[in-house]
Structure 1
């Protein structure tokens, strides 16, 4: 039952029923509602700042897991970077030194990485920083790996070229000389057999019977085969590439033809005494970039160290040359 309120009216000197105007009732209701709303908002704000929602708790846990994964991945990347640095070090200071090639400067690798970084800066930055950091690091690693792969391809080409160069380098004696008795005159100033004056002898003379086989000392292409009237008589010149040429003079008969490709150890002619010669022998020369080199240092393929020491002493004797 609704409780009725009365108040004492001093004007009429009696008790009268208390009647609340509708406007006051509305104001009271609105004031209550406003206070409730404000209080609720304050409670919600405090709750959102202090207490995580279930969704936020899940997101926080996921974020922690991502950070742990990032740390593990970052450690792996650092390990790969160390291995990559070791490969680059070997590339510069081992492999390329073997083939006498210039090392790749760090600036070249850095330039490739700078280009990659410029491309990355142009990309969208909407992803979170951890993912972006991982992607950027992996991109750098992939770039370094690609650069290193190209370097190893260059080294493989050097290996193939080195094999060709070794095959094209004079490395055996041009005639059979197992007992080393056929070396008659060495490289250097010798007494000319015709003019009896001291002249430069630009090759090595092998005394051998006429008809003794003569062999190419390295792979190459025959540049000259014949008698040009220059004192060498019937002679052969082989261009081996890499600046090397060899000359085989005073032959009795020539087997090689101009333009013919020959292999080391292949028969190219026979010993004779044509041209300016005082007896059957082979005059053998080695040239590097058109400069005469002592052939005695190009017999390492068919001599032991002891035999090499012996043949050096024989060739150094100041005897008269055969041509």
Structure 2
């Protein structure tokens, strides 16, 4: 039941009932209704912050999943960077050292990009820092991989060249050990058998019967195959890389000038031609046009014991055979 309101009338000195106009009633009703609507709207806005639609939930899960994948990818990039750093260290300190190549400077391996901000388009998002850092690391890793790839390509070329050089260096005896009568004269001052003066003997003399096979001690090209007053029938082989070998006093030559030979190829036979007093092979090794001791180049043919015995024989005093 609605409350009845009164007011005091001073003229009549009595209380009178307040009559409510219909317009006031309607205004009050409308005001209350609007207040309810306003409260409801505000409550909906606040409540909607805590309750998401199915699409919003799906998007939120997708964002969380993307962030997790970005973090995992970032860790993998860091692991790859660590592996690459180990490869770079081996490259500089092992591979390039072995093949006598200069190491790649650190500033070249890890040079920056410079210029304008390459990552400006990645700014302004919730995960901008994570995405930007990851993109930077991927760019750096990619650049370092390119540098390392080029280095390994260079190493492959150097390895092939090293293989050619090792095959070219005179590394075996020109006469098989089983065919030798003895090693008569080494690389040192000797008494010349014909001139009867002390003269430096630039090679080694291997005594063997006439007709004993003589072999090329390394890959190369025959640059001279001729007969001379001093060396008789003689062959000169250019092995490249500054190495040359001489095979003198042959009875017969099996190669000609300009012919390419490989280590172990038959090039002629032991003889006693030229200025020689007995059947033997006079053998010389030259490096950059200077005669060097041939005994240092038999590592591909002799056991340590055989090498020691030959070295001892080469040091013995006596005259040469040419």
Settle same-fold status: TM greater than 0.5.
yes
Q: CA deviation at 1:82?
A: 1.3
Mapped pair 1:198 → 2:198: yes
Q: Superposed, which structure 2 residues align to 1:147-296 within 5 Å?
A: 147-178=147-178, 181-229=181-229, 231-296=230-295
Q: CA deviation at 1:274?
A: 2.6
Q: CA deviation at 1:264?
A: 1.1
Q: CA deviation at 1:145?
A: 2.3
SS at match of 2:178: coil
Q: Superposed, which structure 2 residues align to 1:305-320 within 5 Å?
A: 305-320=304-319
SS at match of 2:100: coil
- Say if 1:240 and 1:134 are closer, same or farther in 2 by CA, change over 3 A: same
CA distance in 2, matches of 1:165, 1:186: 26
SS at match of 1:121: coil
**Aligned position for 1:109:** 109
CA distance in 1, matches of 2:117, 2:95: 33
Aligned length: 316
Q: CA deviation at 1:182?
A: 2.5
SS at match of 1:100: coil
Report if the CA contact (8 A) 1:180-1:311 is conserved: no
Q: CA deviation at 1:260?
A: 0.3
Q: Superposed, which structure 2 residues align to 1:50-65 within 5 Å?
A: 54=53, 61-65=61-65
Farther off after superposition, 81-90 or 309-318: 81-90
Q: CA deviation at 1:248?
A: 0.7
- Say if 1:107 and 1:121 are closer, same or farther in 2 by CA, change over 3 A: same
Q: TM-score, normalised by structure 1?
A: 0.79
Q: CA deviation at 1:125?
A: 3.6
SS at match of 1:250: strand
Report if the CA contact (8 A) 1:120-1:136 is conserved: no
CA distance in 1, matches of 2:106, 2:93: 13
Root-mean-square deviation (CA), in Å? 3.8
- Say if 1:267 and 1:35 are closer, same or farther in 2 by CA, change over 3 A: same
Q: CA deviation at 1:185?
A: 0.1
How far does the alpha carbon of each residue in 1:206-235 deviate from its partner, in whole angstroms, 9 at most, with x for none? Answer: 112222221111110001111355x22221
**Aligned position for 1:138:** 138
Q: Which runs of 5+ in 1 are unaligned?
A: 23-27
Report if the CA contact (8 A) 1:88-1:148 is conserved: yes
- Say if 1:276 and 1:34 are closer, same or farther in 2 by CA, change over 3 A: farther
How far does the alpha carbon of each residue in 1:91-133 deviate from its partner, in whole angstroms, 9 at most, with x for none? Answer: 222222332333222222123xx24x65872773457523333
Q: CA deviation at 1:240?
A: 0.7
